[in-house]
Structure 1
Amino acid sequence: MTHAGAVTVTRIVELELVRLRPSLAGRGTGTATPVLVRVSDGEVNGWGEVPSATPGQWDALAQVFAPALLDHPWRRPTEVADAFADLPWDPTLVGALDTACWDLWSRQRSTPLAHALAGSRTALTAGVTLARQVTSESVTTEVNRQVGAGFRRIRLEIQPGWDTDVVRAVQTSFPFMVLQVDAGGRYTESPGDLDALRSLDSLGLVAIEDPFPADDLAAHGRLSAELRTPVALNRSLSSLDDLGEAIRTEAGGAVNVDPARLGGLTAARRAVDMAMDAGWPVWCGSSARTGVGRAATVALASLAGATLPVEMPGAGSRGRDLVVPPVRAHDGVVPVPLTTSGLGHEIDPATLRSFTAKTLLLDAPRSSNSGTT
């Protein structure tokens, strides 16, 4: 067994706001920035991504989590999470390191990451999320743009007062479009909010995602019992235990599996299996800010249990990506890289340098058995 030669953590300030879409939670604002993790065995590199790390998370990654990985012996990436068993749980930090180790491990074996995860699909149907617009007319204009680019599923961000009428306006113009909504936890169990959610239930949506705050699984369960439309969970889930509790209590009926939220590919792969066993539809969303995280999401979405369209940047998304080829949908379809190993995409060194604000190199202790065979 050899040991990993180094872990390099790179903070990419320039991607903070301009490279990815805004979110309901305000991701990418303030001082939080994307972080890339490179795990190397001295010859082969594996990459992972923290979509948005605060200065405190940067310090924790550099001073605690990365050294813990370097001190931890592992043979398969499913053993990587054991390195962090005694640390405070931070799914995004663990997820970046876990994903980087999956990439390294599969590259060492000249295996596509999708196959390493036991994925079977060769191409994926793509979905796209549209942020709230100024008017219903601007929403339908943007939907038309995405439909023209081939996207098969539209996910609309909604909030109280911006929900039923907007969905109906889109359905009037695109009666056969597959639609779902993301509420971002903005609703309560007030009579007005519940009436709006009940109205959405009559519109034939694929799912109503995260209607209530993330810490209120009970409210999700009560709504799920009442509606025909599946209530999808995402922000409520930061571990497999959370998902298991949600399934046990019937707090939802569908799930958005994001590797960064759950703690990496090891946990996300298990989450897809758990949801499939429970009969919950699954799609692989992505809070990723770069092609590193999106490529990992594509590999995950190749699993048989991920039956709904994978989340991708929409038509008109601008800016350079850090990987080549870029991770994008073409005519509404995302190819799963199967002719190259690992993520199937390579870091563009020049682009990475142009976006790098800080780099920290941590060497593995010579006495350590960290790494893979």
Structure 2
Amino acid sequence: MSTELQVVAARLHRVRMPLVHAFQTSSHRKAYLDHILVALEDASGAVGWGEIASPSDPYYASETVETCWHIASRYLLPAIIGRRWTHPSQLQADKIRGNQFAKSGLDVAAWVLWAEAQQLPLATVLGGQRTEVVAGVSLGIEPTIDDLLAQVQQQVESGYPRVKLKIAQDWDVEPVRAVRAAYPKLDLHVDANGIYTAGELDRLVELDGFGLTMIEQPFAPRDLLAHAELQRRIGTPVCLDESVETVADLETALGLGALRVLNIKVSRMGGLTAARAAHDRAQDAGIPVWCGGMHEFGVGRLANVALSSLAGFTLPSDVSASEKYYARDIVEPAVTAVGGVVQVPDGPGLGHQVDREFVVANTVEELRLGPGQE
């Protein structure tokens, strides 16, 4: 498409939403989330929505809601308002180092606006081929193994074919053993969010006998050598998440033999532009990929669904139904999963409408940029 677009105004909404079930990882526990919604408006009045799904605290990544708000409002949005463009990739903020989460919200909003301008689904303009996506769920660390088993049972009964368990040093072998004993054929994998050290490699080797689909991000993001050593010692595929923020990171990991699966997160990689490039490179290298999530609201969730329609996403992705995390979502209709499968929207843009009144009702901070605004 060669139609020229121009963002004339933009809004940021810091939206707070309670989780239906508190979620604990190896680093922290959360009962609600603050995410930043980005709305880009072009001269025709069309609006493209994106979501900055950064954590509130610097445990998963160095970015937080506050840092993203600062970078988006001071640097990213002013750089694109009034600028003319014909493809979302032209709005990449290459001069700004890092800040992938902040960049992601604007990149997704630009892709959605571009799709809206063509009256095409987001999945179509990305090059997606699937009409439905197999979903998986991610379960946090629970107070007891019985509590965990109850959560697994609930998700299996809901039809989800894959369950991911968060693990840590005091919550790894025994919970996995219990879940595998109860569900011997379940597609099961674990995620450590980088909490282990190279000196604890032998403990992770113990997990190799449970028939896991993958062990995700056992070591710190930059410790690719430890990931490579673990992969040499086990048959279970090692999956990288936090280690890969750019395609260059992926090239390094491939060169070291540090992974056999890649988790592609739109937020972690700075948006759909970079996520699609990582998908293409992984596909060339024969590395299966899946789309990870950050407990996104409906906007980010639908962007993940669209990305997961690409050919290389052969493993279940974190695109479960809205109701898994939120009593009410910000999009209408909410994202649903039937038998663990999410339909790829076929309407223009996101394919769902953003409930603006509900967004405003749950906004705790707002910024408007454009003519007459500061």
TM-score, scaled relative to structure 2: 0.90
Higher relative contact order (CA 8 A, sep 6+): 1
Q: Which residue of 1 aligns with 2:42?
A: 41
- Counterparts of 1:317 and 1:294, CA distance in 2: 11
- Counterparts of 2:130 and 2:265, CA distance in 1: 18
Q: 1:356 to 1:256 in 2, by over 3 A?
A: same
Q: Which residue of 2 aligns with 1:11?
A: 14
Q: Which residue of 2 aligns with 1:109?
A: 118
Matches within 5 A, 1:169-188: 169-188=178-197
Deviation at 1:18, TM superposition (A): 6.4
Deviation at 1:29, TM superposition (A): 8.6
- Counterparts of 1:78 and 1:364, CA distance in 2: 25
Judging by fraction of residues, say which structure has more strand: 2
Matches within 5 A, 1:48-63: 48-52=50-54, 53-63=64-74
Q: Which residue of 1 aligns with 2:280?
A: 273
Q: 1:163 to 1:96 in 2, by over 3 A?
A: same
Deviation at 1:28, TM superposition (A): 6.2
Instruction: For structure 1, list consecutive stretches of 5 or more residues without a partner in the other structure.
Output: 366-373
CA contact under 8 A between 2:6 and 2:83: conserved in structure 1? no
Q: Which residue of 2 aligns with 1:65?
A: 76
Q: 1:55 to 1:18 in 2, by over 3 A?
A: farther
Q: Which residue of 1 aligns with 2:215?
A: 208
Look up the SS of the partner of 2:337 in the other structure.
coil
CA contact under 8 A between 1:290 and 1:322: conserved in structure 2? yes
CA contact under 8 A between 2:116 and 2:349: conserved in structure 1? yes
Q: Which residue of 2 aligns with 1:249?
A: 256
- Counterparts of 1:116 and 1:174, CA distance in 2: 39
Q: Which residue of 2 aligns with 1:300?
A: 307
Matches within 5 A, 1:150-169: 150-169=159-178
Higher mean displacement: 95-104 or 287-296 = 287-296
Deviations 1:186-237 (A, max 9, x none): 11122xx322211111211111001011121111111112211111000112
Deviations 1:48-100 (A, max 9, x none): 1111343233122111111112254321112221xx12223211111111110
Code of the residue aligned with 2:52 in structure 1: it is V
Deviations 1:320-342 (A, max 9, x none): 1100111232221101001x111
Higher mean displacement: 37-46 or 113-122 = 37-46
- Counterparts of 1:71 and 1:242, CA distance in 2: 33
Deviations 1:272-313 (A, max 9, x none): 111121121211011143111010000000001000011134
Confirm whether residue 121 of structure 1 aligns to residue 121 of structure 2. Answer: no
Q: Which residue of 1 aligns with 2:289?
A: 282
Code of the residue aligned with 1:324 in structure 2: it is E
Structure 1 counterpart of 2:337, from 323, 329, 336: 329
Higher mean displacement: 199-208 or 312-321 = 312-321
Matches within 5 A, 1:129-140: 129-140=138-149
Q: 1:23 to 1:124 in 2, by over 3 A?
A: same
- Counterparts of 1:100 and 1:316, CA distance in 2: 24
Code of the residue aligned with 2:129 in structure 1: it is S
List structure 1 segments (4+ residues) > 3 angstroms apart after TM superposition.
16-30, 312-318
Deviation at 1:241, TM superposition (A): 1.4
Look up the SS of the partner of 2:135 in the other structure.
strand
- Counterparts of 2:116 and 2:21, CA distance in 1: 27
Code of the residue aligned with 2:261 in structure 1: it is A
What is the aligned residue count? 358
Structure 2 counterpart of 1:226, from 230, 233, 238: 233
Look up the SS of the partner of 1:78 in the other structure.
helix
CA contact under 8 A between 1:158 and 1:183: conserved in structure 2? yes
Deviation at 1:256, TM superposition (A): 0.7
Higher mean displacement: 131-140 or 35-44 = 131-140
Q: Which residue of 2 aligns with 1:351?
A: 358
Look up the SS of the partner of 1:5 in the other structure.
strand
Deviation at 1:145, TM superposition (A): 0.7
Deviation at 1:166, TM superposition (A): 1.4
CA contact under 8 A between 2:21 and 2:31: conserved in structure 1? no
Q: Which residue of 1 aligns with 2:59?
A: none
The CA RMSD over aligned residues, in Å, is 2.1
What is the percent sequence identity of the aligned residues?
Answer: 38
Look up the SS of the partner of 1:9 in the other structure.
strand
Deviation at 1:2, TM superposition (A): 4.4
CA contact under 8 A between 2:23 and 2:30: conserved in structure 1? no
Deviation at 1:239, TM superposition (A): 1.6
Confirm whether residue 189 of structure 1 aligns to residue 192 of structure 2. Answer: no
Structure 2 counterpart of 1:311, from 291, 311, 318: 318
Code of the residue aligned with 1:73 in structure 2: it is R
Look up the SS of the partner of 1:169 in the other structure.
helix
CA contact under 8 A between 2:26 and 2:167: conserved in structure 1? no
Q: 1:100 to 1:25 in 2, by over 3 A?
A: farther
CA contact under 8 A between 2:20 and 2:325: conserved in structure 1? no
Q: 1:268 to 1:73 in 2, by over 3 A?
A: same
